[in-house]
Structure 1
């Protein structure tokens, strides 16, 4: 009984020590569409930003649409050329990878879902194939999208950090609960051992 209890205590402590780097270092990525410009940033929870991390943007079939790297603050930006889902993958090193998807319906209507080889290159022909919104409507839409994006970014990071804090608190609470039960079992076993020793005395 005593050895089993001590084994549980050692296991709980070892689990908390060995797994701590994994629990406390999670890579996250967030991005928004500002017109055809996809801007975002990567960050670690509970804190920190990856520097010069590789950023790869692919479509639903895995075709690479763009590549770049993050700056010293974890920020990145690429230009969307097609109106398709953009899967943004950031590699932060040490096996840390995070992915975020910007849906096709978040991109401007003027972007085509594909780039046909026969697409005319002249400005006049391009205007006929790629209808654009009126300048005033497009400006207002871009302004609204950018304003919303600026407000969403910090809220998203704060929410992730809060959820990570709550989860870590639950983990520590669970470990403390295991240690408490182990201590209780150890105390009961020790009390029983003393009672048995007392009874065995003449």
Structure 2
């Protein structure tokens, strides 16, 4: 009997731990990294620290999210980055940011407008279009990920069904003795 209660308690505790799953989302826009840190379910992880690492693992800077869990970082130039988010209580997660996402906002990547229409004008227009699309798509990707992370009614009912099923199995096992 004692074993079944321990098993049931372990399952309930593991479900509670899943409710505090740390999440991070970041995207490049205009040469900056925009991101947010939150727990599954939508609450911001305000006490977290965001370490920005180079591809070689070197620490570039440490950021602190605002009250909404959001942060912004402007690297020196387009380069591959990795964000390491740590809440200090055992929750930790990594998120990569590719250099291609950051290349649109740096002066070196945008040609200067020429007096006559040329290929540089076309490249500049393409750069402006990429920035506009990134500005619109980045927040949409973030909202989509947060919506997927929220607990749904089917998730809650499935968890309750599992608890009742294990409790029923434990009672059946106890009744056999």
Distance 1:131 1:87, change over 3 A: closer
Max radius of gyration: which structure?
A: 1
CA distance in 2 between counterparts of 1:27 and 1:12 reads: 25
Q: Superposition RMSD on alpha carbons, in Å?
A: 2.6
Number of residues paired by the alignment?
166
How far apart are 1:22 and its partner, in Å? 1.9
Q: Deviations over 1:97-149 (max 9, x none)?
A: 122111222221686xxxxxxxxxxxxxxx8xx45244433222111111011
Q: 4+ residue runs of structure 1 moved beyond 4 angstroms? A: 168-172
Question: Equivalences for 1:1-202 in 2 at 5 Å?
Answer: 6-108=1-103, 130=108, 132-133=110-111, 134-162=123-151, 166=155, 170-189=158-177
TM-score of the aligned structures, taking structure 1 as reference length:
0.70
Contact 1:12–1:179 (Cα < 8 Å) also in 2: no
> Any idea what SS the aligned residue of 1:61 has?
coil
Q: Deviations over 1:9-65 (max 9, x none)?
A: 312332135435422211100001002110010001123112242111102211122
